[in-house]
Every structure is written in C-alpha cells, then in structure tokens.
Amino acid sequence: MELIRLNKAIAETGYCSRRAADRLIEDGIVKINGKLAELGTKVSNKDVITVGEEVITKEVRNIYLVFNKPMGIECTTDENIPKNIISYINYPERIYPVGRLDKPSEGLILMTNDGDIVNKILRSRNNHEKEYVVVVDKLITQEFLNGMSNGVPILEQMTKKCKVSKVDPRCFNIVLTQGLNRQIRRMTEHFGYEVKKLRRVRIMNIELGDLKKGEYRDLTEKEFTELNELIGDSSKTID
C-alpha cells in the first residue's frame, strides 16, 4: 500500500496547501485515525484524517486502468525522474503500475490504486501469463525458437519453458510466466540476437487490443471478474 506524506494527502483533498497543512499539524489540530499527527508522518488511503472535528479524508474508488505504455517512459512512481509513468499519464488520482515494463519496451501495463490486487497478481505465478511480440535484428531460425521455448541460462538460472512462435522472418511471439529482469532481451542475446522492438500485448486475460499508444482505458467488469478468478477467490468488486 502506497504511503505519502500527510501534508500532501491533506493538500490532495483540496482542503489547503501543503505549507498550510504543515502549520495545521504544528498547531496540533490534525489527527490520523484519532491520534495526534506529527510533521513528516506518512499515511495511506485507508487512514482517516481529521482537522479539528472535520473529517477531510478523500474518498476514492478503486481504479483499474489498462495503459499502452510508449517506448521511453519509465515505470516508476518517482516523479523526479524524467519521463516517469505517473507524470506521463497525469491521472487525477494516485495510481501506480503493477509490475514493470522496461523503458525501451512498450505495450500493456496495468495501473491501479488497489494494493490488494497488486499483491495477488504478483503472487499468482502459475496463472500470470504475459504475452509479447518481439522484433529482432536477424532472421529467426527453428533452432532459435526451440532454444527459447525450452529454457535459457540467464542470471544464474534456467528460464521456465515457454510458448514461442514465429510471426514473420524477424518477429516472434512469446508467452512467459516469469518476470526476470530484462528476461526476453537476455534470452535472445544468449542466441546472438538483439531485440529491436518489444511490445507486451497481454497480461493474463487482459489484452492490449487496439488501444492507441499513450492512451489508457478502464478495466471492464468482465475483465475484472475473470482476473479475480485467475488470481484466486476475492470479494472485491469494482466500485
């Protein structure tokens, strides 16, 4: 669950500026869950903030977005980093990416403010299929396809067997259930190939479809229900 400074949380409700929030905290009239707050305290969206007798906690629905990340955008919540995904999307509520997609890569990434579903997705290793379309620098051979699908020694371990199929002479489709650091790039490099373009087109049951690069959409009710079935029993529903 994401934590942010109390003064920022107060400012995001529209109650006052961060500086004014600091003064209210110093004056001893701000409480978190009924307890007196201190400067620098961090809060989550589950905490109840009061100023005097007034509850100012901002009620925010659970947000689930499908985003088509362009190449060059960094999957980080640190807004001080140039071309970070948070500043790029500029969504009115606090959201963060589920997992990562390398800066040179593009395609589907899920964005949410629901920490519970993030944990379930990242834990659901057996059902967590991720599908990519990859363009490489030279002609694809059957030997390359067989080698990629049967496991590749990278990062001092063998990758799990996976589905790999040829799309055209220099392009292939690959479905992974792992999320090792720069996995596809390292796997192709092992066979002397270089990735020229890497696009993620599916995460479990969620497909990128015809969503334009740089745009996002809400997860549909059907997608959300199917996703919950894949990651285990859940009572959560879209608000």
Full set of structural domains in the chain with CATH:
4-55 (3.10.290.10), 64-124+211-231 (3.30.70.580), 130-203 (3.30.70.1560)
pLDDT value of residue 1: 57
Q: Is residue 239 pLDDT above 50, yes or no?
A: no
Among candidate residues 22, 27, 47, 102, the one labeled active-site is: 102
pLDDT confidence bin for 237, thresholds 50/70/90: very low
Average pLDDT value for residue range 70-99: 91
pTM: 0.76
pLDDT value of residue 62: 87
pLDDT value of residue 236: 43
Active site annotation includes 102: yes
The pLDDT tens digits for 183-233 are 999 999 999 999 999 999 999 999 999 999 999 999 999 999 999 888 875
Q: How far is CA 15 from CA 9, 12, 18, 119, in A?
A: 10, 8, 10, 32
List, as one string, the DSSP characters of 76-112: -S-TTSTTBHHHHH--SS--EESS---TT-EEEEEEE
